[in-house]
Structure formats: C-alpha cells, structure tokens
Amino acid sequence: MAVRENVRLGYRLDWANNRMIVNHKFAQRAEAIGSQEYKLILQVQNDFPQIEICEESGRKITSSRRSKGLTYDYMRHVLSMLPNGKELLDEFNNKVLVVPDSRHRYQFAKEWFISEVPDYKSPFDTLERIRTADLANNAPVFEAKKSAGKFPTKLS
C-alpha cells in the first residue's frame, strides 16, 4: 500500500537496484530548499547514503501517432495534389464525408484516405508520383537553374 502512495506522490523506492526514482514534477518541487520533497530526499539520503536518486522522464507514448495532424483540410490538400485528385476529391466529399453516423465519420474518412494514399507521410514519393504523372501528360516541368555562382544584385 505504501508503494502505491509513493507512486502517486511522485517517487518510488527501487530496493533491488538501490535507487529512488522521482518524476519530473517531484524533482522540480525538490529544488526548492525547505520544501517537503527536499526534506524527504535529505531524509532518504541520510538513512541510506548509498542510494542513487534518479529522475524519471515524462509519460511514455506507447501508441502509434501515425495520423497526428491528419485533418480533413490536409486530406483534401493531399488529394488535390495527386494526378487523379479531382476524382478522389469528389469521392471524398460525396461518399466518404456523408457517413450517417457522425461519431465514426472521421475514422471512416481516415481509413479511406490511408487506403487511397498509403504514402501520404512521405512527401518525396508523393511529389515524384505527381511529377511523373505530369511528364506523362506532357505538362511543363519547372526546374531550378543554377546560376553562375553569383547572385544578381539588381532585379531586371
């Protein structure tokens, strides 16, 4: 029971490895001389001089965050950049976003988008697909030309 309370208070004692593990907030409060946390650390160090005080990093993210930032606007933007973007945008707006159950609309749209554009996170692959599609359609390709080594001083 005391171990549970210690964890809730921001520290735990690891007797197997001879360490006192504190979280970030506990460590910040312990920096103030005279605080309860400061006194507790001093007491533990006096009682167990060989114990090591370790600060634990923050909460660990255990789930995948692949779709972070994947908004409806971002989906529309990526779809509009694809060679068949007009058809995909029409399907996205008319079929995907018209799901009757509004609680699952985003999940359905996200799954559909990832199935249609699996490499949406790698912009170079997507841009290469757009470039090759433009070449196939004989669209002009704009390439940056290297100057002779000097920047122009005047605009002409």
Residue 52: name the closest of 40, 60, 41 by CA. Answer: 41
pTM passes above 0.75: no
| pLDDT of 10 above 70 | yes
Lowest mean pLDDT among 15-29, 60-74, 116-130: 116-130
Q: pLDDT band for 138, please (50, 70, 90 cuts).
A: low
Write the DSSP symbol of residue 154. S
Residue 8: name the closest of 26, 27, 34 by CA. Answer: 26
Q: What is the mean pLDDT of residues 92-105?
A: 79
The number of beta carbons lying within 10 Å of the beta carbon of residue 47 is 8
Lowest mean pLDDT among 4-8, 16-20, 45-49, 56-60: 4-8
The per-residue pLDDT for 113 is 87
C-alpha to C-alpha distance for 11 and 41, rounded to whole angstroms:
10
**3-state SS string over 42-87?**
HHHHHHCCCCEEEECCCCCCCCCCCCCCCCHHHHHHHHHHCCCHHH
- What are the extents of the domains in the chain? 2-55, 72-136
| pLDDT of 67 above 60 | yes
Paired strand residues for 69: none
The per-residue pLDDT for 154 is 41
